[in-house]
Structure 1
């Protein structure tokens, strides 16, 4: 059986390693290639887009893929949509592996919004110094907020011609500790955090740090999942593969 796993997430990597250890299973992992140094995958992999749903259909057919697993980032809506379409066209079993979202506690000060535009709209009423942890792709959403100062953390530098909000860019890759996050927030006198509800452990420390420092978090809710069966952990995905 040949399985295509979409995604460079930690879950995708773990699943690829464990699934490839099963007798009779061949795994190919596909990475989007958005980072300069993509995550190293222990199994066979490819990097780059497919050219939309039609391109993915062709890849599935040309490479005789038997099952398709979407283990992309929870906010990677386009590839998830294309995967659902391609699986249907090719009549392939299709699984979505997506980590559980974070949940607020009574000690958290979350302001939940539907998208980044809504986050930008509400920000001026919340804080003047903001920790922006949304990656480098959608910074332009906040460039019109000239009176605010942003600390922007990402893995790679923004593109040369990218529109960047007022503030400072730092290049860091998780996981981060609670102490590190608290020190960062204090050092830059951060008054609020903007985050996508990505879930997982690698970047959760910033949420814990905000809680400890009693800072508001503007939390962007996840988009709706693409249609298809979904699981939230690697073991459940392995069980799906085995049956």
Structure 2
């Protein structure tokens, strides 16, 4: 972990404190145009999300009316009933997005993969910068919301399942994350600008409770509409 990652991680509570916990759990309320576009409106509007901090694993429970919960890993996505029995499962799920565009509909397992990958990444940021193989470097300054932010270019290794291997994190003067940029490869490389705010402190860790994602324009600014995804978190617990 280099000095850039260290400064950002320290501002969010520090790696020593983070590594005391194995999971993050939160009540999740979601909205935005993406779920309608993908034919999955309402499935994950209100649920509980849990992610691991020491491995790439995530779960949404309930998974709408379709399953008691989902389980996401890099190699497998599955939907399970109340007894833990597998209802549906898919091995190497990323390959099933081949040729997808932003308008391509998803089935339930594809939704579970997208949601699991997304929330694992979001809730592990910025501590994922300390993972083996993750690299970051300064990429200049960016003026937005009346502040000057540091833009950090992040490269992820093949061993991690993320939306795109090269992303950007913007941090404010306090070194807290303000924005994430990525291109969603499994949805036709759709560019997104993902804003985080309304931080709370849970067990010594600073966590944003509000997330809003908009289309990212070629000049790096975001379009005012549509609101692609909204995420609001409450009842956050680290265990």
Q: Give the TM-score taking structure 2 as reference length.
A: 0.27
Larger radius of gyration: 1
Specify which structure has the higher proportion of strand.
2
Q: Give the TM-score taking structure 1 as reference length.
A: 0.27
